Amino acid sequence: NAGVMQNPRHLVRRRGQEARLRCSPMKGHSHVYWYRQLPEEGLKFMVYLQKENIIDESGMPKERFSAEFPKEGPSILRIQQVVRGDSAAYFCASSSTSGSGADTQYFGPGTRLTVL
């Protein structure tokens, strides 16, 4: 059973470009979470999605960031007009049941975004 897949693993963008990060949850998991890890810091929650629904986006910056989890295909975290402060590791996690904080979340390998 494959784990959580994320691609690309590394992404380099120039300021002002768009970054698209993809996440395929574990088989049978319908809950996806995105976290951001800034250098030398822990993970910070960004957004929680179920298929075709954003459930909680309280950790997502109000501008330039968006996320989706379509009926078919991976979840996408999109960052428009990237700035140097967006440089970070972005982790996706998935869980199988209710999507509450009581569920074990399984993490992907992350996408390391570098903004030049």
Partner 1 sequence: AQSVTQPDIHITVSEGASLELRCNYSYGATPYLFWYVQSPGQGLQLLLKYFSGDTLVQGIKGFEAEFKRSQSSFNLRKPSVHWSDAAEYFCAVGGYNFNKFYFGSGTKLNVKP
Candidates 19-27, 40-48, 61-69, 78-86: pick the segment binding partner 1 (CB under 8 A). 40-48
Whole-number Cα distances in Å, 91 to 8, 16, 17, 107: 11, 22, 20, 7
Residue 105 makes CB contacts below 8 A (sequence gap 6+) with 33, 93, 94, 95
The nearer residue to partner 1, 12 or 83, going by C-beta atoms, is 12
Fill in the per-residue mask, 58 to 87: x = in contact with partner 1 (CB under 8 A), - = not in contact.
-x----------------------------
Q: Is 107 in the site for partner 1 (CB under 8 A)?
A: yes
Q: Which of 23, 48, 75, 86 binds partner 1 (CB under 8 A)?
A: 48
Closest CB 65 distance from partner 1, rounded Å: 16
